[in-house]
């Protein structure tokens, strides 16, 4: 068994995180998650109420809604079907029960969950870096990886 394989591949290109260091059951907001897990979530940018995770991940501040960002991903990007094929610059779409919840950029990877670092905007808060395996459940435990064409 590959110890780095801490995900379930549901169908080709859809993955589920199975471990997580961040238990947010007692957290009521992004700010509380960041306060409780500052050792895991590294702040890389100031708070900014003018844009969100989807604007940051797609580097497009003109996108108004998360649904619009998802449409852009499915129309203009290709889905990465194998975890080991992900690379720096790819976009991760997190979801739970068919509802998209979060977008992030891969900034470093060795093709495993444990070896992948992502950077994302947390709601209206700052930009944070963390390992993929440490993504708060708040943002969903399933993900799809996209790459620009």
Q: Are 130 and 36 in contact (CB under 8 A)?
A: no
Residues 6+ apart with CB under 8 A from 135: 17, 20, 22, 94, 102, 104, 118, 143
8 occurs within a structural domain: no
- Cβ neighbourhood burial of 75 (10 Å; 0-12, 13-18, 19+): exposed
pLDDT in tens, the chain (149 residues): 232 333 444 445 677 766 555 555 566 666 666 666 665 666 666 666 678 899 999 999 899 999 999 999 999 999 999 999 999 999 999 988 878 889 999 999 999 888 999 999 887 778 888 889 888 777 888 899 999 98
Boundaries of domain holding 84? 13-148
6 occurs within a structural domain: no
CATH code at 59? 3.90.1720
Rg (CA), the chain: 14
34 occurs within a structural domain: yes
2 occurs within a structural domain: no
Domains: count for the chain: 1
SS3 54: helix
60 occurs within a structural domain: yes
């Amino acid at each position: 068994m590959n110890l780095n394989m801490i995900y379930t591949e549901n169908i080709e290109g859809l993955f589920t995180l199975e471990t997580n260091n961040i238990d947010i059951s007692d957290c009521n907001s992004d700010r509380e998650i960041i306060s409780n897990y500052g050792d895991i979530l590294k702040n890389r940018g100031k708070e900014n109420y003018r844009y969100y995770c989807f604007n940051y991940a797609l580097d497009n501040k003109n996108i108004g809604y998360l649904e619009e960002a998802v449409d852009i991903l499915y129309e203009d990007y290709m889905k990465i079907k194998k975890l080991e094929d992900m690379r720096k610059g790819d976009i991760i779409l997190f979801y739970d029960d068919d509802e998209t919840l979060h977008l992030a950029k891969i900034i470093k990877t060795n093709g495993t969950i444990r070896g992948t670092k992502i950077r994302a905007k947390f709601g209206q808060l700052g930009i944070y870096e963390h390992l993929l395996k440490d993504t708060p459940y708040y943002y969903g435990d399933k993900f799809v990886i996209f790459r620009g064409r």
